[in-house]
Amino acid sequence: MIQSETPASLITIFGATGDLAKRKLYPSLYHLFTKGQLAEHFAVIGVGRRPWSNDVLRAHVKDSVLSSIPEAENVETFISRFYYQAHDVSDSASYIQLKELANDLDEKYSLQGNRIFYLAMAPEFFGTIAEHLKQDGLTDTPGFHRLVIEKPFGHDLESAKELNKRIRNVFDENDIYRIDHYLGKEMVQNIEVIRFANAIFEPLWNNRFISNIQVTSSEVLGVEERGGYYENSGALRDMVQNHMLQMVALLAMEPPIRLTPQEIRSEKVKVLRALKPMKDEEVESYFVRGQYGPSTNSEQPALGYREETNVQPDSNTATFVAGKLMIDNFRWAGVPFYIRTGKRMSTKSTKIIIQFKDVPMNLYYNSDEKLAPNLLVIHIQPEEGITLHLNAKNTGHSMETKPVKLDFSTNDIAGYNTPEAYEKLLHDCLRGDATNFTHWDEVALSWNFVDKISRVWEENKAAFPNYPAGTMGPVEADQLLEKDGFQWWSVTNDEN
Ligand SMILES: NC(=O)C1=CN([C@@H]2O[C@H](COP(=O)(O)OP(=O)(O)OC[C@H]3O[C@@H](n4cnc5c(N)ncnc54)[C@H](OP(=O)(O)O)[C@@H]3O)[C@@H](O)[C@H]2O)C=CC1
Ligand SMILES: O=C1O[C@H](COP(=O)(O)O)[C@@H](O)[C@H](O)[C@H]1O
């Protein structure tokens, strides 16, 4: 049951000394704490292998909070609820100690046996940890027991099934919270509202009025410290299998009959089931892969992917993917959904651009020319908002038209401070709301779709590198749209 108030809870973070905990989880917990959205009764146990003490963890959490929120207040009170246990997750004996610590904190802070286990660790540990939590009695308390799992959930469908089986032996599907942090982003959550709370869009949201939809998530950064992980993942598994397909599902789903997690997930699942399968020989015409080489811009030098730490000098890993998805159902037949994502591109931007079909003819000045199409742009990040591109009359006597934009930006609302995705998702998990977490069926269908592409790509090496760092990807990504008579709309932040 979804609770409106945050209940008392013990949050155990496995991977408490890691990058994700430091950059995202601690500042998000702190925000919840200051907003009164973390119950009065809470405590956090941090688990990692490093031989830290409670004080070392507390100093680390404080540092994390202050680097993200320099003006943070009451940090001492917040960190006083943090406890550390040095624990190798593969060592069975440590779970007994962890249980004792958990029970002590339960009593000390009246936590009612409610427990959240956040696995901010590499996926090879997920199954082992889940099994130990059950075997060693950490879930033998009267309250709720929720398992939060970071991505990647498996490496392909087979490994994901195996992992799911191990976890489901121990935790009920309703208690498994598979994180996709894009689902916590304000404007990703807004897709549904824009569609279903506005009479003007939903009647047009189909293949009679929409010519194509473009979803871009571009990054300026390269792989940074994560070369080891990324080498086995690449952009397809890192971004497409989860974030990109989730955004497509939200854009394409039917209105749910109710706003419950089950109903929304079931509509998303139908979209993923309707993704048109490709034959092996079709993969190259629907999907384009890229890998960045060194920058060719002397003012913004950057290494090529193959020169990054922990990356093979002849790596075949794609750091860029563009693709065309077709959804074989009544609403979307014939409408291409183009997606593209990559590292070391020219701009950090996530945008969804819905291009409407052209009016039947141009009645106005210069009638030989096509009018600019109507576009609805959903700005996910870094700015958040929506823009509607229309045509209006140019001021004056002639009947010339000019493109105009109707803009709504959350950045323009004074005092409006969008919560971080992780903050919202942690809050949802504390309240038992799994709407913005991925159900196993979604994960399985997404892997099924992506596995075909990775298998074909693994069998055929690409001519990498094929785009210089700091650009929008290989030329083949542009050709993917050009052959359908379209073009990528700019996602540079002040252009659309
Ligand atoms: N960092 C990010 O931006 C993102 C990360 N993720 C996912 O989050 C998870 C964590 O990533 P990240 O924080 O970057 O990884 P890190 O490598 O920074 O941290 C790994 C953590 O796991 C702990 N650990 C490793 N082995 C063991 C072990 N045998 N027993 C106990 N603890 C162990 C480490 O503790 P110690 O070093 O003390 O042993 C450390 O706390 C991964 O699944 C990743 O894919 C997802 C999205 C973004
Ligand atoms: O999950 C991941 O997402 C980030 C991009 O997230 P964003 O919120 O900054 O858009 C990506 O850098 C990372 O490789 C991937 O694992």
- Predicted confidence at residue 5, as pLDDT, reads 79
Ligand 2 binding pocket includes 180 (Cβ within 6 Å):
no
10 Å CB burial of residue 493 (0-12, 13-18, 19+) is middle
What phi, psi does 156 have (nearest 5°)? -160, -175
Helix, strand, or coil here: 420? coil
Tokens 């440590």 -> residue: 94
Ligand 1 binding pocket includes 35 (Cβ within 6 Å):
no
In this predicted structure, the answer to whether residue 416 has a pLDDT above a threshold of 60 is no
Ligand 2 binding pocket includes 238 (Cβ within 6 Å):
yes
Query: How many helices and strands in the chain, by DSSP H and E?
Result: 16, 16
Question: Do 113 and 141 contact (CB within 8 A), yes or no?
Answer: yes
In this predicted structure, the answer to whether residue 1 has a pLDDT above a threshold of 70 is no
Atom of ligand 1 nearest to the CA of 20: 13
Name which of 182-191, 220-229, 355-364 the model is least confident about: 355-364
- Predicted confidence at residue 6, as pLDDT, reads 86
- Predicted confidence at residue 373, as pLDDT, reads 93
Mean pLDDT, the chain, rounded, equals: 94
Strand partners, 212: 355
For residue 239, give the ligand nearest its CA. 2
User: With bands split at pLDDT 50, 70 and 90, how would you rate the model's confidence at 232?
Assistant: very high
Rounded average pLDDT over 265-284: 97
Q: How many whole angstroms separate alpha carbon 440 and alpha carbon 153?
A: 10
From the CA of 218, how far away is ligand 2's center (Å)?
10
- Predicted confidence at residue 411, as pLDDT, reads 72
Instruction: Count the Cβ atoms, other than its own, within 10 Å of residue 218.
Output: 21
Q: How many whole angstroms separate alpha carbon 231 and alpha carbon 102?
A: 37
Q: What is the C-alpha end-to-end distance of the chain, expressed in Å?
A: 41
Q: How many whole angstroms separate alpha carbon 413 and alpha carbon 45?
A: 37
In this predicted structure, the answer to whether residue 237 has a pLDDT above a threshold of 70 is yes
Ligand 2 binding pocket includes 219 (Cβ within 6 Å):
yes
Question: Do 156 and 444 contact (CB within 8 A), yes or no?
Answer: no
Residue nearest to atom 9 of ligand 2 (CA): 219
From the CA of 90, how far away is ligand 1's center (Å)?
14
- Residue 425 structure tokens: 């998702």
Q: How many whole angstroms separate alpha carbon 26 and alpha carbon 334?
A: 45
183-419+439-483 CATH choice from 3.40.50.970, 3.30.360.10, 3.40.50.2000, 1.25.40.340: 3.30.360.10
- Binding-site members for substrate are 181, 185, 219, 238, 343, 348
> What is the DSSP secondary-structure string of 154-193?
-SSHHHHHHHHHHHHTTS-GGGEEE--GGGGSHHHHHHHH
- CA quadruple 441, 443, 447, 450: dihedral sign: positive
Dump pLDDT digits (tens) for 11-26: 999 999 999 999 999 9
Question: Do 385 and 407 contact (CB within 8 A), yes or no?
Answer: yes
In this predicted structure, the answer to whether residue 418 has a pLDDT above a threshold of 90 is no
Kindly provide the ipTM of the predicted complex, given to two decimals: 0.97
For residue 230, give the ligand nearest its CA. 2
Ligand 1 binding pocket includes 120 (Cβ within 6 Å):
yes
- Predicted confidence at residue 365, as pLDDT, reads 63
- Binding-site members are 15-22, 49, 88-89, 151, 181, 185, 219, 238, 343, 348
Of 251, 247, 128, the C-alpha closest to 201 is: 251
Strand partners, 293: 468
Question: Do 493 and 327 contact (CB within 8 A), yes or no?
Answer: no
Rounded average pLDDT over 349-362: 91
Ligand 2 binding pocket includes 420 (Cβ within 6 Å):
no
With a threshold of 0.80, does the pTM exceed it? yes
Residue nearest to atom 22 of ligand 1 (CA): 15
- Predicted confidence at residue 126, as pLDDT, reads 95
- Which residue of the set 31, 60, 132, 243 is catalytic? 243
Residue nearest to atom 3 of ligand 2 (CA): 239
Dump pLDDT digits (tens) for 120-165: 998 889 999 999 999 999 999 999 999 999 988 999 999 999 999 9
Q: Which of 13, 19, 60, 233 to mutate to test the pocket of ligand 1 (most atoms within 8 A of CB)?
A: 19
What phi, psi does 376 have (nearest 5°)? -110, 120
Strand 82-86 and strand 115-119: pairing?
Answer: unpaired
For residue 341, give the ligand nearest its CA. 2
Residue nearest to atom 4 of ligand 1 (CA): 20
CA distances 254 to 197, 251, 282, 332, 348, Å, are 13, 9, 28, 11, 30
- Residue 428 structure tokens: 């949802």
From the CA of 67, how far away is ligand 2's center (Å)?
20
Q: Which of 13, 17, 20 to mutate to test the pocket of ligand 1 (most atoms within 8 A of CB)?
A: 20
Of 190, 167, 191, 16, the C-alpha closest to 86 is: 16
Name which of 66-70, 136-140, 413-417 the model is least confident about: 413-417
Question: Do 357 and 211 contact (CB within 8 A), yes or no?
Answer: yes
Atom of ligand 1 nearest to the CA of 89: 30
Question: Do 356 and 209 contact (CB within 8 A), yes or no?
Answer: yes
Dump pLDDT digits (tens) for 452-489: 999 999 999 999 999 999 999 999 999 999 999 999 99
Q: How many whole angstroms separate alpha carbon 400 and alpha carbon 371?
A: 11
> In 184-331, which ranges are E strands?
210-218, 287-290, 292-293, 320-326
In this predicted structure, the answer to whether residue 248 has a pLDDT above a threshold of 80 is yes
- Predicted confidence at residue 395, as pLDDT, reads 84
91 CB-near residues (< 8 Å, 6+ apart): none
From the CA of 271, how far away is ligand 1's center (Å)?
32
Rounded average pLDDT over 315-337: 98
From the CA of 138, how far away is ligand 1's center (Å)?
21
Which superfamily does 9-150 belong to? NAD(P)-binding Rossmann-like Domain (3.40.50.720)
From the CA of 225, how far away is ligand 1's center (Å)?
12
Calculate the CA 228 to chain-centre distance: 20
> Is 243 a residue of the active site?
yes
In this predicted structure, the answer to whether residue 412 has a pLDDT above a threshold of 80 is no
User: With bands split at pLDDT 50, 70 and 90, how would you rate the model's confidence at 419?
Assistant: confident
126 CB-near residues (< 8 Å, 6+ apart): 119, 149, 163, 166, 167
Share above pLDDT 70 across residues of the chain, in percent, rounded to a whole number = 96
Q: Where are the domains of the chain?
A: 9-150, 183-419+439-483
Q: CA-based angle 441:145:103, to the nearest 5?
A: 160
Q: How many whole angstroms separate alpha carbon 248 and alpha carbon 215?
A: 8
In this predicted structure, the answer to whether residue 414 has a pLDDT above a threshold of 70 is no
